């Protein structure tokens, strides 16, 4: 299952897999991340109804994932109001902001770096998921949380810092690229286990000057040694953590608004966005997907829209996909 949450003019994409909620980066970022892969953007017939804030849900089809949402053509603005954080997370994040601001370059600071420095990194959604989880770890262990993605392009091409400055700036060259003092298993022991047998590993982590990680954990995963996240409110809490860390790069905002104007005209249009992942760009040897499956995905969207009482005449459906089969039969779309 997948859905996309729209709160206070901010967009947060949610995918639920095996009961784990994965926070996905906004659909516009997905477009820019895959420009070299000739991502297709297809819209249905447009309308010019006033925009409104709401949320909706959809489900996966075949080997792809899909998302639906409601938003307006200005929904990606980085100047929009932030999601209101429920307690105790609002207080936790504000206290961590003070700590981070005061200690980022302190001689006594310890660092936790979410990194992607080469091949083997996960997709954008999994990376964001892991980033939000490691922020929980950094808060619990009083580490300075930083993020450094250089592959396939610098993260700041897409996302910029918001409440805290997480950029790897002002440090000696290759400062964070030294070998870790802990193995990944030892790192996991500092978060997921709490029977007492890991006390020595926890002390080792507490003493570590820096640790970089590329791993992925669902944001709200139950971790014995971390402040808990209520799974019933993981969407709202995850949106709050995401917006604590990130804003969209202005280039992304302008590009997204340009796409929407091209599709729907200059007026504000309330629309649903569906990201349909096919992966034939990344994996050329994958069995081709039939156009009938594309039709099935669209029909699924129509059914889901009807279930949540969304009028697709007044609220168009925007399909974002890397499905090359569609490009062959609709080269101008």
State residue 318's pLDDT score. 78
Structural domain spans, the chain:
2-77+254-329, 95-248
Phi, psi of 324 (to 5 degrees): -70, -30
- Determine how many CB atoms are found less than 10 A away from the CB of residue 327: 16
State residue 324's pLDDT score. 60
Q: What is the pTM of this model?
A: 0.67
d(CA 278, CA 65): 8
d(CA 47, CA 315): 7
16 CA to centre of own chain:
13
State residue 101's pLDDT score. 97
Q: To 10 degrees, the CA torsion angle through 311, 314, 315, 320?
A: 110
Q: Tell me how far apart the terminal alpha carbons of the chain are, to the nearest angstrom.
A: 27
* Vertex 76 angle, CA 149 and 269, to 5°: 150
State residue 125's pLDDT score. 80
Burial of 15 (0-12, 13-18, 19+ CB in 10 A): buried
Phi/psi zone of residue 244: left (φ > 0), alpha (ψ -120 to 50 degrees), beta?
A: alpha
Residue bearing tokens 């954990």: 217
d(CA 250, CA 204): 41
For the chain, 333 residues long, the average pLDDT of each consecutive 10-residue run is 36 34 35 33 32 32 35 36 79 97 96 88 83 93 94 90 95 88 85 69 89 80 82 88 94 88 81 70 57 79 84 80 61 56
d(CA 331, CA 333): 6
């Amino acid at each position: 299952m997948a859905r996309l949450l729209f709160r206070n003019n901010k967009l947060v994409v949610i995918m639920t897999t095996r009961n784990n909620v994965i926070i996905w980066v906004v659909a516009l970022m997905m477009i820019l991340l895959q420009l070299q892969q000739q991502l297709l953007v297809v819209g249905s017939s447009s309308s010019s109804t006033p925009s409104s804030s709401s949320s909706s849900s959809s489900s996966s089809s075949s080997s792809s994932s899909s998302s639906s949402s409601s938003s307006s053509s200005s929904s990606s603005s980085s100047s929009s109001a932030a999601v209101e954080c429920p307690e105790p997370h609002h207080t936790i994040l504000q206290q961590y902001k003070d700590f981070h601001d005061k200690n980022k370059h302190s001689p006594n600071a310890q660092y936790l770096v979410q990194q992607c420095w080469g091949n083997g990194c996960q997709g954008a959604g999994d990376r964001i998921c892991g980033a939000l989880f490691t922020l929980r770890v950094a808060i619990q262990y009083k580490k300075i949380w930083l993020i450094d993605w250089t592959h396939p392009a610098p993260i700041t091409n897409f996302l910029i810092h918001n409440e805290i400055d997480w950029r790897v700036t002002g440090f000696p060259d290759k400062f964070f690229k030294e070998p870790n003092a802990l193995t990944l298993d030892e790192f996991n022991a500092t978060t997921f286990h709490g029977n007492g047998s890991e006390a020595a590993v926890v002390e080792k982590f507490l003493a570590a000057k820096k640790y970089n990680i590329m791993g992925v954990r669902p944001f709200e995963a139950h971790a014995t040694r971390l402040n808990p996240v209520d799974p019933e409110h993981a969407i709202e809490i995850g949106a709050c953590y995401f917006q604590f860390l990130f804003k969209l790069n202005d280039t992304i905002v302008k590009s997204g608004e340009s796409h929407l104007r091209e599709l729907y005209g200059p007026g504000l249009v309330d629309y649903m966005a569906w990201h349909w992942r096919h992966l034939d760009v990344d994996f050329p040897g994958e069995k081709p997907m039939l156009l009938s499956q594309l039709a099935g995905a669209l029909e699924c969207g129509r059914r889901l829209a009807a279930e949540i009482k969304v009028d697709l005449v007044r609220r168009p459906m925007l399909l974002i996909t890397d499905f090359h089969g569609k490009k062959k039969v609709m080269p101008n779309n």
